[in-house]
Structure 1
Amino acid sequence: MDLSTTTVTWRGLTFSGVHGAPFGLSTLEGWSDLPPARRDTEPRQQAHGRFDGPVWSDERTIIITGSTYSAEERDARLLALESAAAWPSGQGSTEELVVTHGGRTLTAFARLTRFKPTFGGAWASGGFPYAIEWVAPDPLRYSPPMSVATTFPVLRGGLEYDLYTDGAGTDLGYLDYGEASDTGRIVVSNPGSAAVPILFQVEGPVDPSGFDIAQVDSDRRLRFSGPVSAGSVLVLDGATGNVLIDGSADRGGLLTYRDWPLIPPGGSIELAFIPLGVDLGARLTAVVRPGSW
């Protein structure tokens, strides 16, 4: 595998396949191939094989090996490695492992599970190899986030009637009925190879009656039956199901319809932002991280 243009970044420390990089990268396993498969099937009684069933992905394990060599900076580099490989305080959520490989930069959300520096004969002269392992409970690899935004629909008119042209398609006369209306709709796309959820951010104010986020051409919707104050942000996270205001206050009990939308691989869906009461000027932003196997 050619790693000359590959980098792996973890907690601000970058491992690189470029010759002479401070933290070298020799091998990268578990990144480009599919993660292990998991199947819950039953054997056929008195017959060959098993009953058919779906294939599910297991967690993804990523392993790198590399080395560093610098007599002057040996101890400092070892300290940097040990710091990047330390167990996090409190064992919180997964962290970003960012890999640039094959012309793409993708992110996995992982936990470090193993770090092994090898103190061999080169240690005295400043060199030592190492191996590092991560496990990503979510096996997908994500592209940088994409976002689209809208307000509630606003009817303004906005119709324009062409009267005549110059014969080449340029309008020379028309009736203009003003600024175009806002539809309150957005199209969210996923160019990746795996279906992904959507994270919604609603900036207040929102009337106490709440709002719907409806998937157009279906009966699927999210309904929030409560207010959002001016200056506050309500986040509805399709990946976790969490509903929080300003990052901490739980409002999950006010989400009375929970048809969380998924964007199919290589596809898109259209969503409508609909007020259930008075339109006070709220704004909806949909954030998508395209997912790849």
Structure 2
Amino acid sequence: MSFRFFELPERFISATLDGMVFGREDSDALLKLERFDGWFGTPGVRADKTDRLWGHGSFTERGLRDSRLIIAEGNARFSSEQAAVDAYYRLTSMIADGTFAQMSVVDSLFGLQTADVRLANELSIEWLTSSIFKYQVQLFAADPRKYGQALTASTGVSIDGGGLDYPLYSPGGALSYGPAGTPGTLQLTNVGTADTPVVHTLTGDMPYGFTITELGTQRRLVYAGAVIPGQVIRLDSADGSVMLDGDNDRGSELVRRDWVRLGKGQTGTWLFEAPGSTGALLSTEVVPAWW
């Protein structure tokens, strides 16, 4: 699918990658964007199949979404030859190390969405004049999903409430039920159309570890190790990692690992339990995803 943005004057789209900004002719972008194939369409589908020898059709497996190829193309016009040369060098060095970088796309219709991309092919540059060139950049997104802005929620550890205080109506003639409890639950919804991972971050004193239970499915994450104040534990369902303070693998301490990913429009509710702790905190993040 190809978009010519001068045909959509009411709509603004720009993409930012490694410090380079691609946008419409009337924007402040350095590079004017006239084609943005692969971003608005859906990724392809891959599935192995075997022909039926004595019948119609095929035997096949479940189809899965393929990676995404994105092509950004347009003309770049500059006020001077030196400005054009500077832009050329910046463009040709963009994510030149071959690693993935986050591309942010701002669309007046769909809002902000991101994807991790790397270069998929050589960069094409065609000089039209000494201050104007035409470019084409091909980008590869291994994860075909487009992600929105993160949604977060937090809760303290689950604590039971108090019972009736005895003697009743004492002191002062009041009937006291003791201190209120803490449910220790939080809830988040994936408002997108594609499944997305869940990230849990835990802090505080948890001498006997902790358990996180997704109440809808009863899937549980059980961490058996002690967590002391000042430490940060991060559990990521995207890759199944369990990290202490960002760089220490603690996967061996996760004795039960029923990872949860939220499907399109799905809401997750998590219960946080940590025996022996009253000051622990669970923060959960869900980034809505779209095809």
Normalising by structure 1, what TM-score? 0.85
2:128–2:134 CA contact under 8 A, matched in 1: no
Cα distance, 1:177 vs. partner?
5.5
1:7 equivalent in structure 2: 14
Q: Secondary structure at the match of 1:51?
A: strand
1:82 equivalent in structure 2: 92
CA distance in 1 between counterparts of 2:267 and 2:216 reads: 13
CA distance in 2 between counterparts of 1:269 and 1:158 reads: 30
CA distance in 1 between counterparts of 2:16 and 2:135 reads: 15
Q: Secondary structure at the match of 1:80?
A: helix
CA distance in 2 between counterparts of 1:64 and 1:2 reads: 12
CA distance in 2 between counterparts of 1:256 and 1:105 reads: 38
2:64 equivalent in structure 1: 56
**Counterpart amino acid of residue 154 in structure 1:** I
Cα distance, 1:153 vs. partner?
1.2
Task: Write out per-residue CA displacement over residues 29-62 of structure 1, whole angstroms, 9 at most, x where no aligned residue.
Answer: 0011111110122211122211243110111111
Cα distance, 1:157 vs. partner?
4.9
Cα distance, 1:212 vs. partner?
0.6
Structure 1, unaligned stretches of length 5 or more? 160-174
User: Which of residues 148, 151, 154 is equivalent to 1:149?
Assistant: 154
2:183 equivalent in structure 1: 183
Q: Secondary structure at the match of 2:192?
A: coil
CA distance in 2 between counterparts of 1:120 and 1:136 reads: 28
CA distance in 1 between counterparts of 2:215 and 2:70 reads: 39
Q: Secondary structure at the match of 2:252?
A: helix
CA distance in 1 between counterparts of 2:290 and 2:128 reads: 41
2:47–2:60 CA contact under 8 A, matched in 1: no
1:5–1:18 CA contact under 8 A, matched in 2: no
Q: 1:178 to 1:80 in 2, by over 3 A?
A: farther
1:254 equivalent in structure 2: 253
**Counterpart amino acid of residue 57 in structure 1:** R
Is 1:267 the counterpart of 2:272 in the alignment?
no
Is 1:138 the counterpart of 2:143 in the alignment?
yes
Cα distance, 1:213 vs. partner?
0.5
CA distance in 2 between counterparts of 1:141 and 1:121 reads: 34
Q: Secondary structure at the match of 2:43?
A: coil
Q: 1:127 to 1:178 in 2, by over 3 A?
A: farther
**Counterpart amino acid of residue 145 in structure 2:** L
1:71–1:127 CA contact under 8 A, matched in 2: no
Tell me the matched-pair count. Answer: 271
1:85–1:115 CA contact under 8 A, matched in 2: no
**Counterpart amino acid of residue 191 in structure 1:** V
1:164 equivalent in structure 2: none
CA distance in 2 between counterparts of 1:198 and 1:5 reads: 31
2:216–2:268 CA contact under 8 A, matched in 1: no
1:288 equivalent in structure 2: 286
Q: Secondary structure at the match of 1:66?
A: strand
2:4–2:35 CA contact under 8 A, matched in 1: no
2:225 equivalent in structure 1: 226
1:279 equivalent in structure 2: 277
Is 1:110 the counterpart of 2:110 in the alignment?
no
Cα distance, 1:286 vs. partner?
0.6
Structure 2, unaligned stretches of length 5 or more? 6-10, 165-174
Cα distance, 1:7 vs. partner?
0.5
1:169 equivalent in structure 2: none
Q: 1:76 to 1:120 in 2, by over 3 A?
A: closer
1:158–1:180 CA contact under 8 A, matched in 2: no
**Counterpart amino acid of residue 19 in structure 2:** G
Q: 1:129 to 1:285 in 2, by over 3 A?
A: same
CA distance in 2 between counterparts of 1:136 and 1:282 reads: 37
Cα distance, 1:114 vs. partner?
2.8
Q: Secondary structure at the match of 1:114?
A: coil
1:170 equivalent in structure 2: none
